[in-house]
Each structure stands twice: as C-alpha cells, then as structure tokens.
Amino acid sequence: MSESDVGKGEAKEMISCQEALEKVYEYLDGELGSPDQEKVREHVKICRQCYPLFDFERAFLDFVREKGFADEASDELLERVQAIVRDSG
C-alpha cells in the first residue's frame, strides 16, 4: 500500500504490517475473534509484503501438521502392556 492510499476510504482501517505479523499464527489457527480476523484478512489481501509471508507460514504449519505425528513401534512396550492387562485381569 502506498502512502497516498492512507486515509482513503476503507484503507484507513488497515492495520499495520507489524500488527498483522504479530497475529499471523492466531489468524492461521482461526483463533482471532471477529473483528480481528477480518482486519488481518483485509490487510493480507492487499499487502504485497505480507501476503507471501502468510502463505509461507501456512505452508509451514501444514507441513508440521502432516509430519509431526508418526507412529513408533516398540516390541518391548507391547509385551509390557500385554503383561499388565493379563495381570490385572
């Protein structure tokens, strides 16, 4: 957004890049209530600086969600748990 846009119409409601940046995860998590969620959305929609950053952060979160969980096998653990069940039963 150029300086000449400031104060014109809807643009005057724009939050700063700094504010948007501080709320990036809350926004992507859907944890910002109304009207903050809309304010950030409006900013990101217009701001060429923030838009790619938000996309990057979204890709990062999707990635962590996809990769962060992995099953882990342990034969020893299975034996321990089976023994507990039988002993308790």
Partner 1 sequence: MTAPDEQRTREFESEALPHLDALYGLGLRLTGGDESAAQDLVQETMLRAYRAWDSFELGSNCRSWLMTILRNTFINDYRKRKNRPASVDYDEIAERPVFMDAKTTDPEGKFFSRLIDREVITAIEGLPIDFRIPLVLADVEGLGYQDIADLFELPVGTVKSRLFRARRRLQRVLYEYAIEMGYIR
The site for partner 1 (CB under 8 A) is made up of: 21, 25-26, 29, 31, 52-53, 55-57, 59-61, 63-65, 67-74, 76-78, 80-82, 84-86, 88-89
Min CB(59)–partner 1 separation in Å: 4
The residue (of 11 and 57) whose beta carbon lies closer to partner 1 is: 57
| Min separation Cβ 48 and partner 1, Å | 12
Task: Give min distance, CB of 4 to partner 1, in A.
Answer: 26
SS3 assignment for the chain:
CCHHHCCCHHHHHCCCHHHHHHCHHHHHCCCCCCCHHHHHHHHHHHCCCHHHHHHHHHHHHHHHHHHCCCCCCCHHHHHHHHHHHHHHC
